[in-house]
Amino acid sequence: MKISSYFKVGTFTVIVILASWWGIKWLGGQNILMSNNTYYVYFDDVTGLQESSRVKMRGVEVGNVRDITLLKDKVKVEISIEAEYADMIPDNSVAEIASAGLMGGMEIYIIQGDSKKSMKDGGTFEGRVRPDMIGSLADKGGELLDNLNVTVDNLNTLLEDNGEGIGQLITNLESVTASIDTMLLSSSENIEGAIGDLRTFTTMLSDSSADIETMITNLESFSGDLADADLVNQLSTTVESLNSVLASIESSEGSIGMLLNDPELYNSLTTASDNLGLLLEDVKAHPMRYVNISVFGQSEEKMEAKAAKKAAKEAAKEEKRAAKASN
């Protein structure tokens, strides 16, 4: 069977019309190939909201606005949501109008409730308008500009009221800068001399860098020798020995300890020293009592007799001294 060209053209035309109609619906946010549920929301104002505006739930697009109708005291909005999301919408959910972003436009956001019952097809959402972040920023920007204008006005008033003082301050600053310039000009030679001396000093340091390096090397070598000599350990040993000696002295061990800690020995030595001093003084005053020089020699009997007399005299003197001391 041969198909005529007219039938082909007609069929193609119908297909194009159907595809165009489906495309228009799809661009308008309606997918005729999927089943949708219809819900209603009432608002006081829907500025920025249009037919085919998107409907989202937790950031996911689930439908679109199908129709907007102005009533006497409300605005009725009909929304279409894909049927597969119907069980996720509790019957106490809320529909909010909010900004779609920086590019403008408004969208409807479904805020899910906590009810266990799902909203039926044809149900009505509670409608609210979410505060517009962009509008809030614009309001804040306006307030900021107003405050900035007030600040500028106050600054202008302050400058006008203190104009003379500010002028005097500027004059004083100019005078100070002029004085500094004059001082710098008068001291330019000294400054140049100081710079020249500094250059000379740096040059000298550069020329003496080898000597400085040698000195540093010697210091490092000396410190290494000290470390190798184990001077710290030797000093520690010496200090420990000195502490041991001092401890022995304090504990009355040894001759030095007994000498320092025995008061009777100290008193005996003091008495002996005093007696020795008295003896030396008597020898100086009466040397003939202790030294007997004979030119012609004497017999042993006479020498013994003289010695006995001297001993008797010394004993008598000692008795007299003892008696005087007792009195």
pLDDT at 172: 83
Work out the number of other CB atoms within 10 angstroms of the CB of residue 168.
11
CB 101 within 8 A of CB 59: no
- By the 10 Å C-beta count (0-12 exposed, 13-18 middle, 19+ buried), 41 is classed as buried
- Reading the chain (327 residues) residue by residue, the pLDDT tens digits are 556 666 666 776 777 777 675 566 555 555 555 678 899 999 998 888 888 888 999 989 898 898 999 998 999 999 999 888 888 999 999 999 988 766 567 899 999 999 999 999 989 999 898 876 445 545 566 777 778 888 888 887 877 777 777 778 888 888 888 888 787 777 777 787 788 888 888 888 788 878 888 888 888 877 776 666 666 677 778 888 888 777 776 666 666 666 666 667 667 777 877 778 777 777 777 666 666 554 444 555 666 677 777 777 787 777 777 777 665
pLDDT at 273: 77
pLDDT at 326: 64
For the record, the structure tokens of 114 come out as 């906590």
pLDDT at 229: 60
CB 123 within 8 A of CB 91: yes
- By the 10 Å C-beta count (0-12 exposed, 13-18 middle, 19+ buried), 31 is classed as middle
Listing DSSP states for 14-37 in one string gives HHHHHHHHHHHHHHTT--TTS-EE
Alpha carbon separation from 83 to 24, 37, 95, 191, 253 (Å, rounded)? 21, 5, 17, 91, 112
For the record, the structure tokens of 157 come out as 């008033």
Amino acid at the residue 135: G
Q: In DSSP terms, which residues pair with 80 in a beta bridge?
A: 38, 64
pLDDT at 243: 80
Nearest 5°: phi and psi at 315?
-65, -40
Which pTM does this prediction carry?
0.36
pLDDT at 90: 92
pLDDT at 296: 45
Coil, helix or strand at residue 234: helix
- By the 10 Å C-beta count (0-12 exposed, 13-18 middle, 19+ buried), 125 is classed as buried
Instruction: Compute the distance between CA of residue 59 and CA of residue 96 in angstroms, rounded to an integer.
Output: 13
